[in-house]
Chain A
Amino acid sequence: MNKLKEFFNREQNILIHLIATILVIILGIIFKIALYEWLLVLAMVAFVITSELINSSIELVVDLYTSKFNPLAMVAKDVAAGAVLVSAITAACVGVYIFLPKIINIIK
């Protein structure tokens, strides 16, 4: 349990994305979304988690190589973080596209 907390303390992004995944799955069950919408959810979850893990991998490789400040290291880490941001924004947009009409339907 302690190791889990230490892990999430170091890699905070993975925790946020796991929570978002669970939330989306619960919302999907509540709203009874169609099969193709489940496929979209699955694809976006895979996309985000993959890019997240590759980002962690690049971070670890950079930290493996050098522990001092290095401008190219900043470039590598920042660009990888940018990639994760793009994938997260895309997943959020697809989520909004899938769920917003249903939420509006329920509010009516």
Chain B
Amino acid sequence: MGSKKKVNVEISRGKYVEEHGFKKLGIKRMLMSFKYSFDGLKYAYIHEQSLILHVIVMAIIIACGFGFKITPIQWVITLVMGALILVTELFNTSIEAVVDMVTDKYHPLAKVAKDTASAACFVADMMALGMWLVVFIPKIIAIFR
């Protein structure tokens, strides 16, 4: 178990030299993991127009949260649903990239993959919208009384 061998690995991310040994799980690997995550977020922010729209909606919701003075638990619900939306959107972008990588032409299963991922985004959107309405409509009604 103590021996380490260097293996030349070429995967879709690029070439790198992997150490096959069990001694260190690698702080460097974790740091590279962070770097990849930030690269992904930057790419999604630049290239996906729907993500910018959702960020704007989140900003409006956060402003409403401060304006209406919602309780901390309601803050947690609001922000967690927003995070769920972001996560589903990012996975949708990823699946679209994978499908585009596999095929240029039309393929029925490609359509299934992309449509299903969009449906996941839609479900998350509707759930979050429902929760936000539950949180904010009583406050709006209380203002109008």
Contact = CB atoms under 8 A, between A and B. Distances in A.
Given A12-B29, A66-B101, A87 B87 contact: yes
Contacts of B79: 90, 93
Interface stretch (B8-16, B59-67, B126-134, B137-145): B8-16
B80 A94 contact: yes
Interface size class of B (residues with CB under 8 A): 35 or more
A9 to B, nearest CB: 6
B86 A86 contact: yes
A12 B25 contact: yes
A79 B36 CA distance: 8
A76 to B, nearest CB: 4
Nearest to A5: B22
A47 interface: yes
A87 to B, nearest CB: 5
B32 to A, nearest CB: 10
Contacts of B43: 75, 78-79
A66 B12 contact: yes
Given A9-B25, A12-B25, A61-B98, A78 B12 contact: no
Nearest to B22: A5
Residue among A76, A77, A78 with most chain B CB within 10 A: A78
A46 B101 CA distance: 30
Contacts of B80: 43-44, 47, 90, 94
B89 to A, nearest CB: 8
Contact of A79 (B1, B15, B30, B94): B94
A93 B29 CA distance: 24
Interface of A: 2, 5-6, 8-9, 12-13, 15-16, 36, 40, 43-44, 47, 51, 54, 58, 61-63, 65-70, 72-87, 89-90, 93-94, 97
26 contacts: A12-B29, A47-B80, A47-B87, A51-B87, A51-B91, A58-B94, A58-B95, A58-B98, A62-B12, A63-B11, A65-B12, A69-B10, A70-B101, A75-B43, A78-B36, A78-B39, A79-B40, A79-B44, A81-B36, A81-B37, A82-B39, A82-B44, A82-B90, A83-B86, A85-B34, A97-B76
